[in-house]
Structure 1
Amino acid sequence: MKLTAIIIDDELPTLNLMKYIIQKSGKVDVIGEFSNPKEVISNIDKLKPDIAFVDVEMPGMNGIALAEELGKLDYKIQIIFSTAYKEYAFDAFKVEAVDYILKPVTEDQINKTIDKIIKRYPLILSKNREGNEDSLNSNITSEVHSDEEVNANNLNKSYKNEDAKNESTKNKNKKNENEVLIYDDSRSNKNQRCNISCLGQFAVYMEYKDTISSNQVKFETVKVEELFAYLTLSEGRPVEKWRLCEMLWPDFPDKKAEHNLHSTIYRLKTSFKKVGFTEDFINYKNGCYTLNVDNFYCDLWDFRKLENYKDLEAANVILIEKVLDLYQGELYGNKAYIWSIDEGQKLNDLNVHMTMKLSNYYIEKKQYDISIRHLYKLLRLNNYNEEVYELMMKCYFYKGDKVKLMKFYKDVRDTLAKELDVKPSKTTVELYNYLIRNLEQ
């Protein structure tokens, strides 16, 4: 069975060349060619291709935006970008593109990309069809192979209950939008738990019930630590083996990267065993690794639940405050992973948005000191936010505290001048002058 592909490129010569090379390979059928990205959107449901070769630089809608739209579909289309600029590689990663080809395109480039797709096609099928078996496990060390074989046997025993478990998971995800679960020992009868801290730092601790002792997990290598950080970010979602290989060893040959991955998985398990954590916390199925989240508590997972909150009210405001307290800084702290940048910014924006909403809630209740406390926390994490400045000044105005209003504005002005060599924005200055005038009346 051949794979099917569409090509989107506003340069007709490039489009024709790509079609010729792809068809010549004899491995992929081109079922659609487009020079206008918007035409792709209107025809995609009819074509349902396996692969989309997408030009990045196009008028009207660029390739990144098109890939984001295609990513919203129920079935997975493997995106391959073609571009003349290497800097688009990071954007390609963010939309989970399989590969990108630098222009001018060559037959060798396209054939290598097609071979990569074909090698992973069983993984593509496994996302949409049940019962597929992955056949990419033939070249691993005997020690790791044995370890994974045991995991596979354990998984086979549970396949009969998998539908019931999936249904249970779906029901859990349909919780009321005002419900947030903070870790509670009553959720587990185990004598040990493993805490993952991601917000402000990255650290993993083993804790034991009825004691105050804890042991930090010491990862054997930086790659082991990065692998676990990525699995934590995935929060129980399956992660393809090939994606982990490309993320951790992008310049390695496929077999070498795969061997390194298996060794790293083994070392990860060893790191946990050294602190007495004996749970089987990584599952392997259909070419994907999955972190068993039932074995862990993670501040990141609870913090993400803030996205479910639409309104603040007396019934949920205390819970929201507790969850906001989890945010102690940027995702993974000073460990800069390129794949975490986008998610880190999203979490920061969520923290700012919900804290501002919480502060406005307390302002409406005329509880200005509580509002100020939350706003100061935002400023400790990020000194440069004009929206926070303005809301803070309003709080002092509502309190009738002219002295603190003046001091706060002076601190803002001095900080901006010292750190950024800029002045407060025009709207901030105008608001300050307005508030001062009205306090003097």
Structure 2
Amino acid sequence: MRVMLIDDEEISLNVTEMTLKEFDDVNVVGRFMDPYAALKIMETSHVDIVFLDIEMGDVHGIHFASLITKKFSHVQIIMVTAHPQYALEAFDVDAVDYLLKPINKKRLQKAIEKVRRSIGKSDANTMEDTVSFYAETLGGFNLVDNKQNPLKWRTKKVKELFLFLWMRKGIPVHKAIVMEKLWPDTNQEKTTSLLHTTVYQLRKKFKEKGVENAISFNNNHYTLNVSVRSDIKEIEKITQAQQLSPTDTEKLLLLYKGDFLEEEDFIWSLSLQHQVRQSVLRYLERCISVYKDSALVESCLKKMLDIDCYQEEYMYKLLVFYKQTKNVSEMKTYYKNIESRLEEELGIEVPLKIKELYQQTI
């Protein structure tokens, strides 16, 4: 289940997220101190449960819960507050449960069970024409169905075939190309047999999930007919937008947990992996040149270095940022990190430009 946390206190967000990590089927996909930023993210990102604080400065959680349920009727809301007097109002907006701070683990477990039952009933009573899935592709790869159950692949090649066809975005792929990309060092007779078996297993997997014709085959071309939303599509939408949005930037920072299919060893995916990485870096470079919010600029710089940790220009820019914000302690800490990374790991000296900047500041 995909969970979003909304609270105007950072400590409360940290505690709730830490407690939820004990539930295997719960995945925190976003945490926000600004409720309207969370609402905007929900327009493009699937969420099952929202843990919502009631008293958030100018925004009252009861009123905000009604906004969520009007726009996203499938979302289950769990109200969280230090004030027990709001319990009846919480249930008036169809909150599935009401938790008092500090959150009790046993009480939280009961609330999660209520949501599981509620989602189960909704799925049982709703006949959908289209079965949809969500793919997490940044860092590791995971594909989940409508009930947030991960798909288990019979073989690695079944998973690879799905990804290869899916990344063609509905464009038919010739049988010969599929065989060449997935079995480059296998003779044609064996490859044909392996392809037929893998296609059969992939069709069978999606048929179990209610998709009758997951792969079509016409004129020697294969096409994937599965509705899949994904983190990579969300990233592409953000990076291709002409206007920068701090909310979108925060969403990208949250989504980009690693390179595209980083944990897989598919040779055919390396080109796209590089393209996505470069588009994200170019986007973040735009952000640091435009945004005035120092916390957001710092987050962008750190993400750039997460993506390309040996890029000297990014190292220099982060040190310049710490100098401009007069954050000497962070500058010292990060410079030691540079020394360790370059001198100890790679056996090379810290670039003169970076060294001089540090010495002039400290």
User: TM > 0.5 between the two?
Assistant: yes
Aligned to 1:218: 152
> 241, 250, 260: which is aligned to 1:331?
260
Partners of 2:206 and 2:221 in 1: how far apart?
21
Partners of 2:193 and 2:204 in 1: how far apart?
17
Q: Does 1:261 align with 2:195?
A: yes
Report runs of 4+ in structure 1 exceeding 4 Å deviation.
Answer: 184-189
Return the letter of the residue paired with 2:349.
K
Partners of 1:268 and 1:361 in 2: how far apart?
46
Aligned to 1:304: 236
User: 1:69-124 deviations in whole A, cap 9, x for unaligned?
Assistant: xxxxxxxxxxxxxxxxxxxxxxxxxxxxxxxxxxxxxxxxxxxxxxxxxxxxxxxx
Partners of 1:288 and 1:305 in 2: how far apart?
28
8 Å CA contact 2:131, 2:211 repeated in 1:
no
Q: 1:336 to 1:196 in 2, by over 3 A?
A: same
Question: How many angstroms does 1:184 deviate by?
Answer: 4.9
Question: How many angstroms does 1:381 deviate by?
Answer: 4.0
Aligned to 1:346: 275
Return the letter of the residue paired with 1:269.
R
Partners of 1:229 and 1:353 in 2: how far apart?
26
The SS at the match of 1:269 is helix
8 Å CA contact 2:239, 2:280 repeated in 1:
no
Partners of 2:158 and 2:194 in 1: how far apart?
10
Q: Does 1:430 align with 2:356?
A: yes
Partners of 1:431 and 1:309 in 2: how far apart?
35
Question: How many angstroms does 1:296 deviate by?
Answer: 1.2
Aligned residues: 245
Q: 1:373 to 1:217 in 2, by over 3 A?
A: same
Gap runs ≥5 in structure 1:
1-179, 209-213
User: 1:256-297 deviations in whole A, cap 9, x for unaligned?
Assistant: 4233212211101222334x343533233332222235x111
Question: How many angstroms does 1:243 deviate by?
Answer: 0.2
8 Å CA contact 1:217, 1:272 repeated in 2:
no
TM-score of the aligned structures, taking structure 1 as reference length: 0.50
Q: Does 1:281 align with 2:214?
A: yes
Partners of 1:226 and 1:196 in 2: how far apart?
13
Q: Does 1:407 align with 2:341?
A: no
Alignment of 1:90-239 (within 5 A): 182-184=44-46, 190=128, 193-208=132-147, 214-239=148-173
The SS at the match of 1:207 is coil
User: 1:123-178 deviations in whole A, cap 9, x for unaligned?
Assistant: xxxxxxxxxxxxxxxxxxxxxxxxxxxxxxxxxxxxxxxxxxxxxxxxxxxxxxxx
Q: 1:192 to 1:244 in 2, by over 3 A?
A: closer
Partners of 2:196 and 2:341 in 1: how far apart?
50
Aligned to 1:388: 314
Return the letter of the residue paired with 2:206.
F
Partners of 1:253 and 1:336 in 2: how far apart?
21
The SS at the match of 1:234 is coil
8 Å CA contact 1:359, 1:375 repeated in 2:
yes
Question: How many angstroms does 1:323 deviate by?
Answer: 3.3
Partners of 1:401 and 1:319 in 2: how far apart?
27
Q: 1:406 to 1:249 in 2, by over 3 A?
A: closer
Gap runs ≥5 in structure 2:
1-41, 48-71, 75-126
Return the letter of the residue paired with 1:278.
V
Aligned to 1:420: 346
Deviates further, 253-262 or 400-409 = 253-262
8 Å CA contact 2:207, 2:214 repeated in 1:
no
Partners of 1:412 and 1:220 in 2: how far apart?
44
Return the letter of the residue paired with 1:346.
Q
8 Å CA contact 1:206, 1:277 repeated in 2:
no
The SS at the match of 2:138 is coil
Q: 1:205 to 1:184 in 2, by over 3 A?
A: closer
Q: 1:381 to 1:254 in 2, by over 3 A?
A: same
Partners of 1:255 and 1:338 in 2: how far apart?
22
Q: 1:309 to 1:430 in 2, by over 3 A?
A: farther
Aligned to 1:49: none
Deviates further, 233-242 or 249-258 = 249-258
Alignment of 1:11-22 (within 5 A): none
Q: 1:252 to 1:411 in 2, by over 3 A?
A: closer
8 Å CA contact 1:197, 1:299 repeated in 2:
yes
Partners of 1:231 and 1:283 in 2: how far apart?
11
Partners of 2:131 and 2:345 in 1: how far apart?
46
Partners of 1:306 and 1:286 in 2: how far apart?
36
Q: 1:325 to 1:311 in 2, by over 3 A?
A: same
Q: 1:280 to 1:326 in 2, by over 3 A?
A: farther
Larger Rg belongs to: 1
Partners of 1:387 and 1:217 in 2: how far apart?
41
Task: Quote the sequence identity (%).
Answer: 27
Partners of 1:311 and 1:335 in 2: how far apart?
33
8 Å CA contact 2:253, 2:300 repeated in 1:
no
Question: How many angstroms does 1:238 deviate by?
Answer: 2.0
Partners of 1:289 and 1:324 in 2: how far apart?
35
8 Å CA contact 1:324, 1:355 repeated in 2:
no
